[in-house]
Structure 1
Amino acid sequence: TQLDEKQVDEGLRKIRQALLESDVALSVAKEFVANVKPKAIGQEVLKSITPGQLLVKIVYDELVKILGSEKSEINLNTVPPAKILVVGLQGSGKTTTSAKIAKFIEKNFNKKVMLSSLDVYRPAAQKQLELLGSQNNIQTIPIIEGQLPIEITQRTLAAASLSGSDVIIFDTAGRTQIDSVMMSELNNLKKIINPIETFLVADSLTGQDAVNIAGEFKKTVDLTGIILTRIDGDGKGGAALSMKSVANCPIKFLGVGEKIDDFEIFHPERIANRILGMGDVVSLVEKVSENLKKEEVEELEENFKKGQFTFNDYLKQLRQMKKIGGMGKVLGMIPGISKIKKQIDESNIDESLLGKQEAVILSMTSKERDNPKIIDGSRKKRIANGSGTDIALVNKLLKQ
C-alpha cells in the first residue's frame, strides 16, 4: 500500500503540533509541513510498519536534511591568523563558548589560539574570559581599563602578529537585536576584523524568538555558523530548526554542559529526534526495514491471522528482537514510552530471558514446536535439561 493524501494530511497535523510544542516558530513549521507533504504522498508502506511510523521517518529525514545538509566543519582555511567573531544576545553563553571554541581548536587542530574580549559593557566580562584562558592555558589579550572595543581589536591584531597566533577568537558584548547602536558597533567591528567565521551563539531555550534573533544577526553581520548552548537542559530543540531556516547557515556546534570540554560537533539526528519527541520511531522503522525480509513478514502475518503462530515463528521474532538490541531497546523506541522510562529502568528487564527462551525452543523437536500441546511432564524435563534451564521456565513459555 501507499500513503494517500488523507493519511498524510492527518499525520502532518500531528507533526505540526509536535513542531510547535518543540518551540519551532509558526512560520517555519508551516513552511516545513508544506514542503514535506508532496514528498510523503505515494510512498510505499512496508507491511511491518504503520503509515504513521513511515510518515515520522519521512519527516525525520527531511529535518536531518534541513538541519545538516551543509558541511559544518569549522573553517580555518585562510592566511593566519584566522579570525573568529562570536556574537549573540545577552546571557546566551558567548564568553564560555569562546573559550570552548579555543580549547576545541587547540585540541583538534594543534593551533595556537588567542582570546580577546571586546565586552566593555558587562561588569567583569573581560575578567571572566581572562580567567577561563588562564585555567585552560589559552593565551588571552591583557586587559587595559577604559579601552573601547575598536581599540582592543586593533591591539589584539597587532599582538597576534607578534606572538605568532594561528587563530584569534573575538568575544563580543551581548546585545539585543533591537539595540541599533550596539548592532551598528558590531557591524563596524566586523569590517575591521574581517573574520573567516562569524558564529551566532544562541540559547537552545530561546523558543519562538529564535527567528527574529537569527534574522537580525544575519542581516547585520552575515553569519557563517550557529552554536547552540544549554542543549543539555530542557530545551526541545525547536530553536535549531527556526534559526537554521531563517539564517540559512549551518549549526556547527552544541554546548552540552558547563565544563570546557562539554562541546560537541553538531549532529542533526540528535536534534531531529528531540524536536519530534516521538521516541526513536525512526530507528525502529530503519531496523525493521533492514532486518526483516518481506516474505518473512508476510508469512508471520499469515500464520498469526490463521491462529497458527508456532514456536518457530516465535523463535524468528526472538532473534529479530535480539538483532535490534533487546527488549529494553525496542521499548525505548516506542512513541510515548519516555514518559514511563523511569519505571521501565526500575523494572530491571531481564535481557538474558530472550536467550533462555531461545535455548528452550531449540531444545524442542520440530513436532513440539509446531504443536506444543503434546509436551507432557517427561518432555518438559528433557527440554529443561537440554536448554540448561528449569521446568518453571518451560511452563512459563508454554503458557504465553
Structure 2
Amino acid sequence: MVLEKLGNVLRKATDKIANAVFLDKNLVEGIVRDLQRALIEADVNVSLVKEISEKIKKEAFDERIKGVEKKEHIIKLLHDELVRILGEKKEVVLGKKNVWLFVGLYGSGKTTTIGKLAAYYAKRGKKVCAVGLDVHRPAAPEQLKQVCDKINVPCFVDLEEKNALKIWEKFSKEIGKYELVLVDSAGRDALEKSLIEEIKKVSDKVKATESFLVMSADIGQTAKKQAQAFKESAGITGVIITKMDSTAKGGGALTACHEVGVPVVFIGVGEKMNEIEIFEPEGFLSRLLGMGDLKALMEKIHSVMDSKELERQQKRLEEGKFTLRDLQTQLDSMGQLGSMDKIMGMIPGFGKVKEKVGEEKLEEQQAKVQKWKHAINSMTPEEIENPSLFEKQTSRIQRVAHGAGCSTSDVRALLKQYKMLKEMIAGGVGEGGMDQKTMMKLAKKFGKKMRF
C-alpha cells in the first residue's frame, strides 16, 4: 500500500484521540511524537512537520475547548492540516482539442505514464494518440511505440529524424484528428539549459494546453527543487508522481510540490497500465486513514472496463440476470484492478478488516479466486447459466473440481459466494444503477458476510 506506515500511525493517532477519556499532556505529546516520526520517515519537510505539531499541541492544551468537542476539533485539525500540505486538487478538464506535453529527467517514468494515461482516456471513449518527440534518448521512440501498441493506441514516431519540430510537422495533419494528444519530450540527467530551450520550442510548436512534469516518488524532498526549476523555466501546469507504491518517500514528493505551488495531478501506484489515479488530496488521506476512497475505486473500474461493457453488465444486473459467467467477468476485472490489499483499502469500512485479516490471508483469498475462475471454466454452459443444477446433482461438483485441479470444497465455496452475491445484487440494484451509496451499502454487507 502507498505510504502504509504513515497510514498506520495516522489511524492509531485518531483512534487514541477518539477513545481517550482525557486528553492529558503525556497522551498528546506521545501522539505528536509518533506523528512526527512517521511524517519525517515519509520524507516530509521538517519545518512542515514542526508546524503541524505546534498547531496540534496548541489546540489540545487550549482550555476554552472542552470534552468531546475538543477531541473532534483535534481530529478535524489533523485532517485539515494534512490535506493542506498535500495541496489543492487540480481539475483537468478536456476541451475539444487537447495537447499534453510531458517533461522530466531520465528515469522518471515518462513513457510508461503516457501509456497509462492513453489507456485511461481511451477506456473513457476519448480519441487518443501519442507522439514521440524524444530524439535524444536511444530507443525512446521504439519504447513509446511498444507501449502504445500493447494498448491499441495510435503512436506517431520517426526513427530516423533527429529534429523534434520536424517530426511534429510531418504528422500534424494526422494528429489533428485526435481529441487528446500526448507528447513525449526529451529528458536529461539534469535540468540543463539546452533541455529548457528545447522544451520551450516544442511547447510553442505543439501549442500545449497542459505541460506536466513527471517525477519519481523516490526522490522525496528533492522534488521541491526540481518542481521549482521546471516551473520557472518551462512553465509546467502540473506534476505527475510515479512509483508511489514502491517508496516510503512519497510524502516528501507530494508535500514538496505543494510548497512550490505546483499541483499534483496524477499519481502512479503500480506497474500495470491501469495503475494510475487522479490525485485527490481528500480521497488520498481518507485511504491513509483506513476510511476508503470509493471515487478512486470507481475510477479504477472504468480503467479496466470500457463504458459499453459496464453498461451491458449494469443492464443485466437491473434485469436480475447474474450467472456464474458474469461472476467470472467480475473476478477477471477485479484481478486487473490490482491486489486484494489495494482494493480493500479503497472500500469504506474494509481498512480495519484488512489489518485484522493480514497479508497472508489476503494472498490465500487471491489464490482461492484463481481456483474459482478455473472451476467456472470447467463447467458446462448449462451449469454456468443454471448453478442450481449442482444442488440437484452433487456429482457435478466432483467432476468440475477434477477438471479445474481444485478440491470439491473450493467449488462449494464458489457456489456459496455466488449465491450470496446474487441475493445481495437482487436487493441492492434498482433502476438507478449501482451508485456510490449503493456500493457502500453492499460493501459493508459483503464485509460482514465475507469469509477468509
TM-score bucket of the superposed structures, by smaller chain = 0.5 to 0.7
Please say if 1:204 is aligned against 2:226. Answer: no
Alignment of 1:336-355 (within 5 A): none
Please say if 1:152 is aligned against 2:167. Answer: yes
Residues 274, 21 of structure 1: alpha-carbon distance in 2 compared, 3 angstrom cutoff: farther
Residues 245, 69 of structure 1: alpha-carbon distance in 2 compared, 3 angstrom cutoff: closer
Please say if 1:259 is aligned against 2:282. Answer: no
* Alpha-carbon distance in 1 for matches of 2:173, 2:53: 51
Alignment of 1:271-290 (within 5 A): 271-272=284-285, 280=290
* Alpha-carbon distance in 1 for matches of 2:185, 2:144: 11
Please say if 1:18 is aligned against 2:38. Answer: yes
Residues 272, 130 of structure 1: alpha-carbon distance in 2 compared, 3 angstrom cutoff: same
Please say if 1:95 is aligned against 2:111. Answer: yes
Alignment TM-score, normalising by the size of structure 2: 0.54
Residues 345, 217 of structure 1: alpha-carbon distance in 2 compared, 3 angstrom cutoff: same
The one-letter amino acid of 2:277's match is: E
* Alpha-carbon distance in 2 for matches of 1:60, 1:170: 37
Q: Secondary structure at the match of 2:68?
A: coil
Alignment of 1:286-305 (within 5 A): none
RMSD across aligned positions (CA) = 3.8
Q: Mean alpha-carbon deviation: is it higher for 222-231 or for 11-20?
A: 11-20
Q: Secondary structure at the match of 1:232?
A: helix
Alignment of 1:1-400 (within 5 A): 12=32, 14-30=34-50, 42=62, 44-46=66-68, 55=74, 58-67=77-86, 69-70=88-89, 72-77=90-95, 80-108=96-124, 110-161=125-176, 164-269=177-282, 271-272=284-285, 280=290, 329=352, 332=355
Q: Secondary structure at the match of 2:169?
A: helix
Whether contact under 8 Å (1:204, 1:230) holds in the other structure is: yes
Per-residue CA shift, 1:182-235, capped at 9, x if unaligned? 122212222222322111212121112111111111112222222221122233
Residues 212, 26 of structure 1: alpha-carbon distance in 2 compared, 3 angstrom cutoff: farther
Per-residue CA shift, 1:71-128, capped at 9, x if unaligned? x332222xx43110111221111101011111111222x2211201111122111101
Whether contact under 8 Å (1:204, 1:231) holds in the other structure is: yes
- Structure 1 unaligned regions, length at least 5: 284-323, 347-400
Whether contact under 8 Å (1:231, 1:237) holds in the other structure is: yes
Residues 197, 30 of structure 1: alpha-carbon distance in 2 compared, 3 angstrom cutoff: farther
Whether contact under 8 Å (2:243, 2:269) holds in the other structure is: yes
* Alpha-carbon distance in 2 for matches of 1:56, 1:238: 20
Residues 126, 39 of structure 1: alpha-carbon distance in 2 compared, 3 angstrom cutoff: farther
- Structure 2 unaligned regions, length at least 5: 1-20, 293-347, 364-452
How many residues align? The count is 287
Whether contact under 8 Å (1:177, 1:213) holds in the other structure is: no
* Alpha-carbon distance in 2 for matches of 1:165, 1:133: 15
Q: Which has the higher contact order (CA 8 A, sep 6+)?
A: 1
Whether contact under 8 Å (1:214, 1:246) holds in the other structure is: no
Whether contact under 8 Å (1:85, 1:170) holds in the other structure is: yes
Q: Secondary structure at the match of 2:181?
A: strand
Alignment TM-score, normalising by the size of structure 1: 0.60
Residues 191, 7 of structure 1: alpha-carbon distance in 2 compared, 3 angstrom cutoff: farther
Q: Secondary structure at the match of 1:195?
A: coil
